Structure 1
């Protein structure tokens, strides 16, 4: 099958109101497909879902150890955070340790999605800066690696040694040559791959603890950091943080813009990747929850799961109007 399939439905009353179609792959440690839906070879931009892959050179190069990065900082390097104080303070402290400032970042300013931080900013008459950008942790990781290798300041250029290392990391772990790149929201190149390739990359991470090469050791450290500090990976109320907590830190998951979601399942040595074709996070969150339930790592009745899968739709008066659920046949 080469077309996206229905994965998520919204029912209002007795009528199907909308559908989210997409592609998904579960891959094992050998790089083989365990199960797939839609087109495994669909080419996508992983967006922020592969930040842990982008962080591999940070550890492999020796930069993480040279600057004594903590597990919490490694989780932040993999994050799409919401600009809460725990994120922005950590970024600024990290930059201070590097003798750098927010002006050295190249991700651009972004309004924080954390309500408390944004409210305080408005009351103080302040404007967002680059530390509030949801990718500022990743970019601070980039700056750490860049300082370690003595690279040029424009580390987001596609021909910069950092970005060449990132491309090598995704191509190696996915066993797929990237057909090209697009510029992400944070200005860094985002190297395209297939849904299958992205799942294979996640399976590389999921099975990394059983290998002793430098790349696998780095992958294992990053996976463990994400599982240990889910609040640094996203933040309160966010799907990544809430679902990782719901699974007691046994699984690492990461969202990406425009309907991408991945999961690293170490106990089963499985990698999961999905792409919702219309780019809706409502669809990708429901679909990843459905796949995690299928794999037996997420309790379908946990509040974090029910918030996204078989989620009741209510109106402003609290009246129950419908449900967001898996489409028929997914993930059978």
Structure 2
């Protein structure tokens, strides 16, 4: 097994204070084009695979039967901030299904969005499951479940919804998943190699709207993410900022514990990376560095300054350090 490579460094006072190591793969039409660390390292992709988990929603006919909009398809791929617009969109979606918050199985947590969080705290209110960052994915699961006629616990590993998700996952990664873990939202998360994850992203990147059933579904999900980046994450979030500034050149998705993926339709390339210490700041910086390398982001784009090349400041606004790409990355 190849060791993870240094990717992102934190410098302070003229000295390298911290180093984030990881694995990364760029997958093109002919296979792996570049790799750092070990492409065969097995990871839990976490929320980076929500577009794969949404494939059965479209392939089954459930999305069409429910009349889902492009915005709702983007929400099905989201790790949103729980802003009022996200909560309202999920609640409206549930209402069209004749369902309520209690039908979700993702659990409730305070929203990441500052305004909505302040509103709840000041009103002495409690968050609902629609605030959960995965509630859009779960609304998609409920839509698929109603179409399939399964039981209410759609997160169970042997439920028809999760069997459909696993089948799609293994087919697009072209690997049998060796195991699964339970994600933060209570749904199964299937493990795969980083190369398999990048291969799946290359499939999404190359999918055409006039292709076969799966390709049409994948193309719709990628287009939805790029059309509604604010629904995929939220204001001030890296996924939203990257997609806005890439302006149709890339769809990206973060996952917990330092995972990030990218799909570049014009280039038919997929990218997957894992920071081994699980740091989000490093995964954001690393995916931006790779997208600059691939020409999908301008090196002078504001998101690059905010999350990779700009200064780190303290509470008084004084510069204390900076992030840097490690010497051999990317």
Answer yes or no: same fold by TM over 0.5. Answer: yes
What is the match of residue 313 of structure 2? 314
Per the TM alignment, residue 310 of structure 1 is displaced from its structure 2 partner at its CA by 1.4
- Select between 322-331 and 43-52 the one with higher mean Cα deviation: 322-331
What is the match of residue 71 of structure 1? 70
Conservation of the 8 A alpha-carbon contact between 1:258 and 1:279: yes
**Is 1:275 aligned to residue 274 of structure 2?**
yes
What is the match of residue 110 of structure 2? 111
What is the match of residue 51 of structure 1? 50
TM-score by length of 1: 0.98
What is the match of residue 6 of structure 2? 6
Per the TM alignment, residue 35 of structure 1 is displaced from its structure 2 partner at its CA by 0.5
Which SS does the other structure have where 1:7 is aligned? Answer: strand
TM-score by length of 2: 0.99
Structure 2: how far apart are the matches of 1:313 and 1:190? 34
For these two proteins, the number of residue pairs brought into alignment is 330
Question: What is the root-mean-square deviation in Å for CA atoms of aligned residues?
Answer: 0.9
Structure 2: how far apart are the matches of 1:100 and 1:250? 36
**Is 1:176 aligned to residue 153 of structure 2?**
no
What is the match of residue 165 of structure 2? 166
- Select between 11-20 and 210-219 the one with higher mean Cα deviation: 210-219
Structure 2: how far apart are the matches of 1:267 and 1:308? 24
Structure 1: how far apart are the matches of 2:272 and 2:210? 22
Give 5+ residue unaligned stretches, structure 2.
none
Per the TM alignment, residue 29 of structure 1 is displaced from its structure 2 partner at its CA by 2.7
What is the match of residue 233 of structure 1? 232
What is the match of residue 247 of structure 1? 246
Per the TM alignment, residue 249 of structure 1 is displaced from its structure 2 partner at its CA by 2.5
Conservation of the 8 A alpha-carbon contact between 1:311 and 1:325: no
Structure 1: how far apart are the matches of 2:159 and 2:57? 15
What is the match of residue 208 of structure 2? 209
What is the match of residue 24 of structure 2? 24
**Is 1:126 aligned to residue 125 of structure 2?**
yes
User: Could you report, residue by residue, the CA deviation over 1:41-88 in whole angstroms, capped at 9, with x for unpaired residues?
Assistant: 000000000000000000000000001100000000000000001100
Which SS does the other structure have where 1:103 is aligned? Answer: helix
Which SS does the other structure have where 1:322 is aligned? Answer: strand
What is the match of residue 144 of structure 1? 143
User: Could you report, residue by residue, the CA deviation over 1:128-158 in whole angstroms, capped at 9, with x for unpaired residues?
Assistant: 1100000000000000000011111000000
Structure 2: how far apart are the matches of 1:278 and 1:8? 12
Divergent runs of 4+, >2 A? none
Conservation of the 8 A alpha-carbon contact between 2:209 and 2:219: no
Per the TM alignment, residue 250 of structure 1 is displaced from its structure 2 partner at its CA by 2.1
Conservation of the 8 A alpha-carbon contact between 2:209 and 2:216: no
Per the TM alignment, residue 211 of structure 1 is displaced from its structure 2 partner at its CA by 6.2
Per the TM alignment, residue 311 of structure 1 is displaced from its structure 2 partner at its CA by 2.6
User: Could you report, residue by residue, the CA deviation over 1:189-242 in whole angstroms, capped at 9, with x for unpaired residues?
Assistant: 000001100000000000001762111110000000000000000000000000
